[in-house]
Amino acid sequence: MSAQDFLVELGTEELPPKTLSSLADAFLAGIEKGLQSAGLTYSAKQVYAAPRRLAVLITDLATQQPDRSVNLDGPPRQAAFDAEGNPTQAALGFAKKCGVELSEIDQSGPKLRYTQSIAGKPTASLLPTIVEDSLNDLPIAKRMRWAARKEEFVRPTQWLVMLLGDQVIDCTILAQTAGRDSRGHRFHHPEDVRISSPAGYLNDLRNAYVLADFSERRQLISKRVEELATQHEGTAIVPPELLDEVTGLVEWPVPLVCSFEERFLDVPQEALITTMQDNQKYFCLLDAEGKLLPRFITVANIESKDPSQIVLGNEKVVRPRLTDAEFFFKQDKKQKLETFNERLKNVVFQAQLGSVYDKAERVSRLAAYIAPRIGGDAQRAARAGLLCKCDLATEMVGEFPEMQGIAGFYYAKADGEAEDVALALNEQYMPRGAGAELPTTLTGAAVAIADKLDTLVGIFGIGMLPTGSKDPYALRRAALGILRILIDKQLDLDLIQAVNFAVTQFGAKVKAAGLADQVLEFIFDRLRARYEDEGVEVAVYLSVRALKPGSALDFDQRVQAVQSFRKLPQAAALAAVNKRVSNLLSKAEGNIAQTVEPKYFDNANEFSLYSAIQQADQAVQPMAAARQYNESLARLAALREPVDAFFEAVMVNAEDPAVRANRYALLARLRGLFLGVADISLLG
C-alpha cells in the first residue's frame, strides 16, 4: 500500500502563550485518534506550535483506507422462522435493513448474520473531517468569533495548509480554504511562504525567520539565557512555566541582557523578581550568594540591527514598575509592622468567625500552646502569631499579593524582631503546595500549624465542609500541610489536644459538639491518600487508624512498622490469627478476665503460648515506650509457632466455663500485644 507524508498547518492571530503547548498536544492527539479510527497507518508523528500556528506532520501515511468487513447480527433462528420453516417478519425486516434478499443472509448460526464489506476510501477524502474534529475538540476555555463569521476558535484564523504528499487537500476549515502557502515572520518575512513538501515544512519556515518547533525554540532560549547569565557572572532564574510562556510568545527568539539601577536592590528582591517575571516575562539573574543582580534577560522576537534600542526600551518599561515597588516598600516602613493590625480589625476573615485580626489573636494563642510541645518557644510563637497577618494590610502586598508573608519577614526584620519570629511570618504559609518547602524554624512550624488548624476548626465549626471539588478555604491543603510538617519534620504533637484547644478559642461562634472529632477525622483521612501515593496498602493504613493515635508522627511510625512487618514470612499467618482471635473475643459472653490463671491450663501448648506471651510482653514494653514499632513487631513475629501449636491442640470454647474464660483471657493478652502497634487483624 502506498504512503505519503501529510502536513496540516492552521495559521491564526497570536495564540495564548500559556496554553500553546497543550493546544498543540491536543491537536496531535485528536488527529491520531481520527487516523486510528479510520484504520489509517503511519510511521511517525510530530507536532509544531508557534505564536501564530499549530501544525502536525504525519510521516508515511497510508493513502488508501483498507477495506473492512462489518458483521450485523439479526434475530435468533427460532424467532426468524416459524414451525414450518417460513421466514417471520423479524427475518424479513432484518434482510430489508441490510438491503439484501433473505437468501443472502447467513442462517447457519444461532442468529441470522449479514457480513457487509465496506470499501476503503481515499485518505484525502477523510482528512478534512479528521482535522476539523480535532480542532473542534481542543481544550479551549473561551472560543471567539470574528467579523460576521459563525466559526469559533481560540483566535481568528488566517490561513490553512493541508498537503498529502504534493497534493493540496481540497477543503475549507474554520473559514480558511486549504492551500500550500504559509506565512513567515511578521517583520522579517511578511510575505507568503510556499511549503515545498510536508517534510520540508520546518526548513521552509526557518528560511522565513520562524522556528516552528516549540521544543527547539524552548531549548534555544534556555541555552542562550544560561550563556548570557554566565557571561554576566550570574545564574538565571528560569521557572519552567515562564520558559514555556516566553517560548509561546516568540517565533524567532533573540535573548538580550538589560539592566536597572542598583538602588532598587534595597527593595525585597522577591518583589522585584515577581514584577519582572509576571508582568514583563523577564528572566532575573542571581549572584553566587543568591542575591539579585541589577540585570535581567528579555527575549526579543526580532533580530534587530541595533539591539541596544530593544535593550533601552525594556529598561524604560521596567523602571516604573520597580519604582512602584520601591515606593510601596518605603511607605510601609514608615510605621511599625504591628500597627497594621489596626487596619485588620476592619477586614473580615469570615462573617461568622470575625475579622482577620481576631484570627491573628487566635493563631497567636494556639501557636503559643503548640510551640513548647514541639520543642519551640511559646513567647516567640505568640509574637509571630500576633504579627502573622499584618502585612496583608500593607501597600506592598496590596500591589503584589504574592508577597504576603515575604513582605512581613522584611518588615519584621527592619523592626528588630527576633530572626525566627520574622521567618515565621513567611513560614506560616508553608508548605505552599505538594512537595513544597517546609518551615525551617520551630516558631514557623508552630504558627503554620496553628494557622491551618484555626481555619479548619473555624470553617468546620460553621458547617462549611468541602464538597466534591469545591474547597474555597483550601481545607484539604491545610490538613495535608499540617501532616507534612509534623511527619517530615519529626514533630510529635498530640493533635487531639491541639484541636480541642483550638475549638475552645471560638466560644459560641462554632457548634462545638462533635467538632473536634470531625476535624480530626478529616485530617487523618488525608493520610490515606498520602500513603497510597507512597505505595502503602490501604489495609496497613486502616490497621493503624483503628487505634486512633493522636500524633501524626506516631501514626506514621506505626504505618512504616506495619508495612515492614507485612514483608515477614510470619505476617500473613499472624494477621489471620489476630482476625480469628478478634472474632472469638467479640462473641465472648460477659467481661474477659484481665489476668490469666495457669492453674486452668490442661494442655502443654497453653503453657507454651502463655510463656511466649509473657516473654514477648517483657521484651516489647520498653520498645513500645520508645516507639520502636519495627523492633516490636519483629519480636512478636516469633509468636507464630506457639500460636499455631495452640490452635491446633486447644479447643478455645471448652465446656468448663472457667477454662473457657481463662483461654479467652490468654487470647486477649495475645491480641493486646499486637494492638500496642496496630490492629493487624485488618491485614488479612
Model confidence pLDDT, tens digit, residues 20-68: 999 999 999 999 999 999 999 999 999 999 999 999 999 999 999 888 7
Do 34 and 96 fall into the same domain?
no
Do 675 and 528 fall into the same domain?
no
Last residue of a domain, one of 264, 284, 319: 319
Model confidence pLDDT, tens digit, residues 536-588: 999 999 999 999 999 999 999 999 999 999 888 888 888 888 888 888 888 77
Is residue 219 over pLDDT 80? Answer: yes
Is residue 589 over pLDDT 80? Answer: no
Do 292 and 376 fall into the same domain?
no
Do 358 and 273 fall into the same domain?
no
Do 290 and 385 fall into the same domain?
no
Do 94 and 57 fall into the same domain?
no
Phi, psi of 422 (to 5 degrees): -65, -45
Query: To the nearest whole percent, how much of the chain has pLDDT over 90?
Result: 73
Tell me which residue range forms the domain holding 368.
338-535
State the average pLDDT over residues 618-640: 90
Is residue 684 over pLDDT 70? Answer: no
Do 77 and 200 fall into the same domain?
no
- Asked if residue 540 is part of any domain, the answer here is no
Model confidence pLDDT, tens digit, residues 286-329: 999 999 999 999 999 999 999 999 999 999 999 999 999 999 99
Query: To the nearest whole percent, how much of the chain has pLDDT over 70?
Result: 99
Do 267 and 365 fall into the same domain?
no
- Asked if residue 421 is part of any domain, the answer here is yes
Is residue 679 over pLDDT 80? Answer: yes
Last residue of a domain, one of 171, 206, 241: 206
State the average pLDDT over residues 331-346: 96
Average pLDDT, the chain: 93
- Asked if residue 328 is part of any domain, the answer here is no
Beta-bridged to residue 81, according to DSSP, are 87
Do 39 and 169 fall into the same domain?
yes
Q: What is the pLDDT of residue 259?
A: 97
**Alpha-carbon gap, residue 61 to 480, rounded angstroms:** 49
Q: What is the pLDDT of residue 139?
A: 94
Q: What is the pLDDT of residue 174?
A: 95
**Distance in Å from the first CA to the final CA of the chain:** 58
Higher pLDDT, 74 or 129: 129
Q: What is the pLDDT of residue 1?
A: 60
| CATH number, residue 632 | 1.10.730
Do 129 and 164 fall into the same domain?
yes
- Asked if residue 555 is part of any domain, the answer here is no
- Asked if residue 547 is part of any domain, the answer here is no
Number of structural domains, the chain?
5
Model confidence pLDDT, tens digit, residues 100-125: 888 888 888 888 888 877 788 899 99
Q: What is the pLDDT of residue 120?
A: 84
DSSP 160-190: EEEEETTEEP--EETTEE-BSEEE--TTT--
- 194's enclosing H/E stretch is strand 192-194
State the average pLDDT over residues 358-370: 97
Higher pLDDT, 283 or 91: 283
Is residue 271 over pLDDT 70? Answer: yes
Model confidence pLDDT, tens digit, residues 191-214: 999 999 999 999 999 999 999 999
Q: How many CB atoms lie within 10 A of CB 2?
A: 10
| CATH number, residue 202 | 3.30.70.260
Q: What is the pLDDT of residue 108?
A: 82
- Asked if residue 415 is part of any domain, the answer here is yes
- Asked if residue 544 is part of any domain, the answer here is no
- Contacts of the segment 218-227: beta carbons below 8 A, 24+ positions apart: 218/243, 218/244, 218/247, 220/253, 221/246, 221/247, 221/250, 221/253, 221/255, 221/299, 224/253, 224/255, 225/255, 225/283, 225/297, 225/299
State the average pLDDT over residues 463-484: 91
Do 313 and 293 fall into the same domain?
yes
**Alpha-carbon gap, residue 196 to 166, rounded angstroms:** 8
Q: What is the pLDDT of residue 116?
A: 79
- Asked if residue 80 is part of any domain, the answer here is yes
Do 274 and 297 fall into the same domain?
yes
Task: Tell me if the pTM is above 0.85.
Answer: no
| CATH number, residue 467 | 1.10.3210
Phi, psi of 535 (to 5 degrees): 85, 15
State the average pLDDT over residues 244-267: 97
Q: How far is CA 472 from the centre of its chain?
A: 17
C-alpha cell at 416: 528588630
State the average pLDDT over residues 160-169: 96
